[in-house]
Amino acid sequence: MSDLLFHFSEDPTIVAFEPHVPATNLGQPPAVWAIDDVHSPLYWFPRDCPRVTCWPRGPDERGAFDEMFHTSAHRVHAIELGWLTRLRTARLFRYSFDAAPFTSWAEASGQWISPSRVEPVAVEPVGDLLDAHVAAGIELRALPSLWPLHDAVRSGRAWDFSIVRMLNAQPRGPYRPSQAE
């Protein structure tokens, strides 16, 4: 593990992070959540943006991943079309933490938790989120609906994945453009 872990927020003014129970995971004890550098691209999105991300864990998963997702990229990230403008205009900040007070959270790749208050050692703007994906060689898809990809990602375990904020996704069924589009 690196000496630093990260948290991403659209708020650049946070001076300390207090342990809390995530609204989406009420069975967890209060904690401050952080992500390692390798998995930090999972958070290069506006906070409430629904997304599906997947990647092969190693060379032995590469073939199945490429075949399933028709890509040569090392990762695939997807959002809904209705979130594309918000992705392009969001101002996201990366908070850096000393990794010492954190322990690995075994339920998700790259996630770390601390049971106590944590103060960041630095905060910096991420910059253009689309550019960040391009620079990292991540295939970013904008889809009418995330549900087909959601189901495909969960259909096999020949890759790792992260699915976030699906409560904010379009409902299953025919595509309905939002008024924002």
Mean pLDDT score, 45-63: 94
- Residue 64 scores a pLDDT above 60: yes
- Which tops the pLDDT comparison, 170 or 173? 170
- Asked whether residue 173 is assigned to any structural domain, the reply reads no
- Asked whether residue 95 is assigned to any structural domain, the reply reads yes
For the chain, the domain total comes to: 1
- Asked whether residue 17 is assigned to any structural domain, the reply reads no
- Residue 52 scores a pLDDT above 80: yes
Dump the DSSP string for the chain. Answer: --SEEEEEES-TT---B--B--TT-TTSPSBEEEE-TTTGGGG-S-TT--EEEEE-SSHHHHHHHHHHHT--SS-EEEEEGGGHHHHHH---EEEEEESTT-EE-TTSTTEEEESS-B--SEEEE---HHHHHHHTT-EEEEES-SHHHHHHHHH--SSEEEEE-GGGSPPSSS----TT-
Q: What percent of the chain has pLDDT over 70?
A: 95
pLDDT at residue number 139 = 97
Q: The pTM is what?
A: 0.90
- Asked whether residue 105 is assigned to any structural domain, the reply reads yes
- Which tops the pLDDT comparison, 21 or 179? 21
- Asked whether residue 120 is assigned to any structural domain, the reply reads yes
pLDDT band at residue 10, thresholds of 50, 70 and 90? Answer: very high
- Asked whether residue 98 is assigned to any structural domain, the reply reads yes
Mean pLDDT score, 81-102: 97
pLDDT at residue number 177 = 66
pLDDT at residue number 1 = 53
Note down the domain range covering 98: 4-10+28-168
pLDDT at residue number 23 = 81
- Asked whether residue 40 is assigned to any structural domain, the reply reads yes
